[in-house]
Structure 1
């Protein structure tokens, strides 16, 4: 029963338990975020979308790194977005409750799209990647990063990343790269 509650919180943080979980995730996953972003040049004077932001720590980090870019963070959890808005008030930063599978943004809108520790929770991974492709500018970049152990648990058919690379290629992404480090897995795609 406790495990199922914790798993539900990881997919959709709510209430006081969701707030606690988001703080714990920040400690555990923030080093992975920094490592992942080290592979790309963060666009300046561009547009960036961060998917599945939790309480917005990663989105704020991206915003600080690209202070001349417009940075948007999304999450399906109202609790997460409320926390993100309270903690992160930079002028170039905005947060919205929305689902990656139905993005309310125009085609070819973002230079960089990131998703940290979240893609294995999407209802339809393929649909989420299709929407990301749609709103990504030509020559835009996508970063998806997570703990490999989460793939073993939530996406056992993609333990080595081959499934992700195959569907990303089918959607139209190019330059499909993966990196591994200390149990982390990083995908980098371009359009």
Structure 2
């Protein structure tokens, strides 16, 4: 679908296309610093509110125990606590979650929310890089990342790190925007993404630029099967990819065996 010049040129806009890995991380951090306080609103805009159902499906797929069995979950790029809160609500009292994020502003939002919910004893917030997780090998029963992997400069390295910190038999779940595979819906979604989302972002948040970047990052992310292959190359086994809502998003699952 041809895009009008005034909307977006994903080859050059925002400087991400040709940025070095270290520079890209700084640019990504700046984007999420700007949207931290409005992160839920951002996801509502990007998904039409469907991200809530997609995240619930991912949390269900974790297989959290409702018994007294201890279970450690690591949620990468989970600074606002969205996945962590859902997991703690679904699992038993012995479920503990570590939410890791590279962005301090996102972590501050999550820590404030956790304190209000009185969950600080079961939820730990850690500032760190997905490409170099600050945890020993085989530390967690499951690792999740929702709508964050596409913003990691070195995705294969992050996937290897996720596998490294998993216990044997543990599972990794990656929820991410994908490639729309429904004829007609793809054009509608492109038109909505490139023309509507930045304008809504400017009207609601006062800044269209972060939303333009987020659209760009979605379009650059590989389709579900390609990303499943990336998980296999990182060492995961029994990898599956489940498209959601016509391919707007996909849930990827892989095991360390």
TM-score range, shorter chain: 0.7 to 0.9
Find runs of 4+ consecutive structure 1 residues off by over 6 angstroms.
1-5
Separation in structure 2 between the aligned mates of residue 40 and residue 75 of structure 1, nearest angstrom? 20
For the residues of structure 1 that align with 2:30 and 2:160, how far apart are their CA atoms? Answer: 20
Task: Quickly say closer, same or farther: Cα 1:92–1:152, change in 2 above 3 A.
Answer: closer
Structure 1: how far apart are the matches of 2:37 and 2:28? 9
What residue in structure 1 maps to residue 111 of structure 2?
Answer: 85
Residue 40 of structure 2 is aligned to residue 14 of structure 1: no
In the alignment, which residue of structure 2 is the partner of 1:154? 220
- Give how far 1:55 is off: 1.6
Shift of 1:146: 1.6
- What is aligned with 2:133? 103
For structure 1, list consecutive stretches of 5 or more residues without a partner in the other structure.
none
Q: TM-score, normalised by structure 1?
A: 0.85
Structure 2: any 5+ residue segments left out of the alignment?
Answer: 1-5, 17-26, 180-214
Report the TM-score when normalising by structure 2. Answer: 0.65
Q: Cα gap change, 1:139/1:63 in structure 2, threshold over 3 Å: closer, same or farther? A: same
- 1:168 pairs with 2:231: yes
Cα deviation, residue 38, structure 1: 2.7
RMSD: 2.6
Give the secondary structure class of the aligned counterpart of 1:85.
helix
- Say which one has the larger Rg: 2
With over 3 angstroms needed to count, the CA separation of the structure-2 counterparts of 1:10 and 1:103, relative to structure 1, is: closer
48-57 or 128-137, larger mean C-alpha shift: 48-57
Distance 2:106 2:172 in 1: 22
